[in-house]
Amino acid sequence: MPGKMDQASYPRIYVERTLALIKPDAIHKADEIEDIVLKSGFIILQRRKLQLSPEQCSDFYADQYGKLFFPSLTAFMSSGPIVAMTLARDNAIAHWKSIIGPVNSAKTRETHPGCLRAKYGTSDLKNALHGSESFHAAEREIKFMFPNSVIEPFPSREATAEYLSKYVNPTLLRGLTELCKYKPHNPCIWLADWLINNNPNQPKICDGAILEEAQ
Q: Give the mean pLDDT per block of 10 residues along the chain (215 residues).
A: 42 76 96 96 95 96 92 96 95 95 86 92 92 93 88 66 82 90 89 86 57 48
> Can you give the pLDDT at residue 153?
59
User: Rounded distance, CA 21 to CA 130, Å?
Assistant: 5
For the annotated catalytic residues, the residue numbers are 130
- The distance in angstroms from the start CA to the end CA of the chain is 21
Q: What is the CA radius of gyration of the chain?
A: 24
Q: Report how far residue 184's alpha carbon sits from residue 175's, in angstroms, rounded to the nearest whole number.
A: 12
* Separation between Cα atoms, residue 195 and residue 184, nearest integer Å: 15
Question: What per-residue confidence (pLDDT) applies to 88?
Answer: 94
What is the structure's pLDDT at 5?
Answer: 41
Query: The pTM is what?
Result: 0.65
**The pLDDT of residue 166:** 82
Q: Cα 71 vs. chain centroid, distance in angstroms?
A: 31
